[in-house]
Amino acid sequence: MRCVQAALRAALVALAGALAALVAHVAIDVAGDYLLPHDTYDGIPHESRAVFVVAIAALSMAVALPLLFDLLGRRCTTTASLLRRLRASLGSPAVFAALATAFAIVTLVSMEWMDCSAAHAGIDGIEDLFGGSLALGLGLTVAAGALCGWLVHRIVALIATIEPQITTLLIRLVRAACSPLVPVLAALHAPASRTIVRSLLLASRGSKRGPPLPASG
């Protein structure tokens, strides 16, 4: 179970960092048009953004599905749930945000390197990977990393707090969705003897409604 917690915690850090890198990439591109004489993000297709949107969606599913299955599998409100243990393992919001920020910086550099490589554009220095200004690019990335890290940490803590209500709601929704299938499943799993008896009864009733047998000579 600790391995699952560690994997989910790493996925949450990666999720916050990837989201921060995507936000910072767009913010640098917009801010550079107004604050920099030469924005190195201009003239380069940013295909890495679409890649990271897919990556963020995949990370979100990778975190959400185990927690959802745990909620539906337990069907109780004990404090030993995977979600609450995960919240306890996240640590303080500041530490989590710092880890997300470090991941965001590395991810942002990787995104722009991917874009430059795909466009066959030269990279003259590290500042080119930050939009042409290391101070502007790094500052926006740190701000986005701190914000996204704090938000992800707080969202996980909030969901863990209202977990009993979420569990109750999910169980009710699952039961409501499955209730129309109950009669069908019951009919499919009915004992064969009951089916045979029912068939014999219907046959006997049907014979009573037939024409009378002819009398013997």
- CA-angle at 46, arms to 119 and 105, nearest 5°: 105
Q: Residue 217's pLDDT is what?
A: 46
Q: Are 141 and 108 in contact (CB under 8 A)?
A: yes
| Domain coordinates in residue numbering, the chain | 2-178
In angstroms, the CA 20 to CA 108 distance is 9
pLDDT at 57: 94
Asked if 163 and 71 count as a contact pair (C-beta separation under 8 A), the reply is: yes
- Residue 206's pLDDT is what? 53
Paired tokens of 50: 């679409």
Mean pLDDT of 77-83: 62
Q: What does the pLDDT read at residue 160?
A: 82
**What is the tens place of the pLDDT at every residue in 16-36?**
999 999 999 999 999 998 998
Residue-wise pLDDT for 145-191, tens only, equals 999 999 999 999 888 888 777 777 777 787 787 776 556 555 555 55
Alpha-carbon span 155 to 150, nearest angstrom: 9
Residues 149, 11: Cα–Cα separation, whole Å: 12
- Taking a C-beta distance cutoff of 8 angstroms, is the pair 18, 103 a contact? yes
50-51-55 Cα angle (round to 5): 115
* 124-143 mean pLDDT: 94
Q: Residue 118: name the closest of 43, 25, 50, 45 by CA.
A: 45
Neighbours of 65 (CB within 10 A): 10
Q: Are 136 and 35 in contact (CB under 8 A)?
A: yes
Q: Report the SS3 class of residue 190.
A: coil
Q: Which residues of 6-43 are buried (b: 16+ CB within 10 A; e: fewer)?
A: eebbebbbbbbbbbbbbbbbebbbebbeeebeebbbee
